[in-house]
Each structure stands twice: as C-alpha cells, then as structure tokens.
Structure 1
C-alpha cells in the first residue's frame, strides 16, 4: 500500500536530514526518509498532510512500531497491541502515518474527526471555485440594428453573470473577401459592451468565421 505524505518544514529542520538513505517522501518539494517523519511532524511542528490510504487500528500488521502520542510526544517503540491499547484507553485511533519507516511510525488521533475535517475543507474549497462558462453569440454581416441590439444585450447579460463570450461573425460565399467588414462589426460589438466586458482574444479569421472572445471586465481595486 502506497502512502503520499507531504511535509512543510523549515530549512533548519531539513539540514540534519539531507544525508538520509533511500525511501523518501516529499518534503518542501525535496526528499526526506519517512523514518524521521515523526521528528519533523510531531516534534519540530511540521505540517502533515495524510493521503487517503492509511492503515488504522487492527489493520496495522507490523511486529513493532514507533508510537507518537496525541499531542505529538514520542512514546517510543512498542508492539501494535500495546499501541492500540493506549489509543483505546484515550478513546482514539491508532493510525499508521509512515508505513515504510523502520519501524513504521504510528500516531494516536481521532481518525474519524480528521477525515471529517478533511472532507469539510475539500467541500469549502470546491465552493470557492468559480466555474466560468463560455457562451457563443453569432452574427452575420449586414445584421439589422434591432437584431444587433438584441444580441448585444445577450452578451452583456452573459458578461454580467461572469461568463465569457465567444463572438462568431459568419461569412457566406464571397463575403469572406470582406474581412474588414467583419472586423468593423467586431469593433462595434466591443464598443457596445465595453462597460461590462473586455477583449480576451482579439478578432481573428478561422476558416469562414471571424472569432473573438470577450471576458467580464475586472473591477478596479480602490
């Protein structure tokens, strides 16, 4: 079973670990032997992010393990039975946080609470993620003023909602030879919706269409 562990630690904490042997995990985008994870995470105050696949309680099969207490104190090398008894007495779980260390490192913690808090943080992060949609509005050369205004209002509505807008000017037949008219139409659109949108991708011929992308105008910070 593989375990991903990421540790944030200061440079001074890493100095003593730079000459360690194989079996490394990521630490500050570098590498550190998991044998010393307990030192970084629970004595030096490193920030431990635990992956999803962990052995917990009776799932731990090592003959002996290095045990870290609930407050980060080093209890020492004990058998899984002893460690589990200590965890049970505290009403907590025994979690194997560094299975490849010799011996494996385990910590006493409320694993259910940890998983709940982790899930809650992930949900909050997803809520803060803003989904940006791209809407498309199509125009033709020689469009009537009324139709132009209807489409321009649609573009404004999309931009105000935070969506991007792909504007497509379609050419028919020999109209493609009048790309300057397509560019003039694009500039007219830009001027019309300029209060709420700005050009992200300038007008460009792509096949028989001229395409540009507008994005919501960013509010200026005071």
Structure 2
C-alpha cells in the first residue's frame, strides 16, 4: 500500500470501481493523496499490478467483519457418543434414542457403542438387534455411515445426519 508498492506503472481503479487505466505510480499516489485515501495493491501478480484508491482502514474493518460473519455461520460436525448395554431397559433405550435423534438433527455424527461385559460377549446378536432397532428409530433423520462392527468388547456403529440436515431451528424460524 502507498509507498510500499514497487512497480513503476500500475493499472489504477478508482474508488467507484471504474478503470482509470495504466498510469505511473507517482501519479496514482498523487491522486490517492489528493482524495485523502490510500493506494492499495489488490492484484500484485498481474502485469502491471492492479491498484485501487480506497480507505485502507475501512477496507480492513469490512474484511474482518466478513470473516466474523463467515465463522459464525459455519457449523463444525462433532462426533457425539451414546453408550448402550445389551440388556438395556425399554425406557432407557427410548431416552438414549431421543438423544441420538437430537444430535443428528443438530447436524452432528453419532457413535453408538454397545458395551459387552463378562459373558455377554458370546451373544453379539443382542447388540446387533439393538443397533438395528436404533437405526429404524433414527431412519428419518440419519443414516448408517459405518455398519455395526465388533471391536474387542464393544460393538460400534456410526450414524451421520441425512443430507440437508444440520439446519438449526432458529434458522428455519428466520426464513
């Protein structure tokens, strides 16, 4: 910006976005100084470099404002974990299933773990039946990303939100 620009000639763009043309650097600096603004190099790789007359402080403020807005709107996908036991009671299953559905609606992936203790491991079909039931409960909001698999004493399945999900209830209300 300003005296830090090293090119002899620049392609000058005015404050309203109109092209002035290719002018010597000294003339471009003089025009910017007359208006009380800065000469900012916006495309240094071009030949000759493109420079625009603007208020640099205001430009930086606008860019940081856009960055903050973009960060606010992005939603990081987290992996939530819900643990079950093979002999879970019906009410406990329903409570955990509701949690799984809520996580999927929020746009998060869910790792469902069934923990086997002692001799329960000789009945993996109990765990598969439980995971199939959960898959049916969450079918409208999520889909299986990784099928049930026995890993040591745990059976693990990963559910992901269906495409188009992850929209917050507040955003729907605003539309």
Normalised-by-shorter TM-score class: 0.7 to 0.9
Q: Decide which of 129, 132, 150 is 2:77's aligned counterpart.
A: 132
- Report the CA distance between 1:104 and its aligned residue: 5.7
Q: How does 1:51-200 map to 2 (within 5 A)?
A: 56-60=1-5, 62=6, 64-70=8-14, 71-79=18-26, 82-97=27-42, 106-200=51-145
With CA pairs under 8 Å and 6+ residues apart, which has the higher RCO, 1 or 2? 2
- Report the CA distance between 1:188 and its aligned residue: 1.5
- Given that residues 69 and 75 in structure 1 are in contact (C-alpha distance below 8 angstroms), is that contact kept between their aligned partners in structure 2? no
Distance 1:202 1:130 in 2: 25
- Report the CA distance between 1:126 and its aligned residue: 2.0
- Report the CA distance between 1:122 and its aligned residue: 2.2
- Report the CA distance between 1:124 and its aligned residue: 2.7
- Given that residues 64 and 104 in structure 1 are in contact (C-alpha distance below 8 angstroms), is that contact kept between their aligned partners in structure 2? no
Aligned length: 162
TM-score, length basis structure 2: 0.74
CA gap of 1:59–1:152, structure 2 versus 1, over 3 A, is same
Local SS of the residue matching 2:91 = helix
CA gap of 1:87–1:219, structure 2 versus 1, over 3 A, is closer
- Given that residues 65 and 106 in structure 1 are in contact (C-alpha distance below 8 angstroms), is that contact kept between their aligned partners in structure 2? no
5+ residue gaps, structure 1: 1-55
Distance 1:73 1:145 in 2: 75
5+ residue gaps, structure 2: 166-175
CA gap of 1:87–1:158, structure 2 versus 1, over 3 A, is same
RMSD: 2.8
Relative to total residues, which structure has the larger helix share, 1 or 2? 2
- Given that residues 135 and 163 in structure 1 are in contact (C-alpha distance below 8 angstroms), is that contact kept between their aligned partners in structure 2? yes
CA gap of 1:64–1:213, structure 2 versus 1, over 3 A, is same
- Report the CA distance between 1:216 and its aligned residue: 3.0
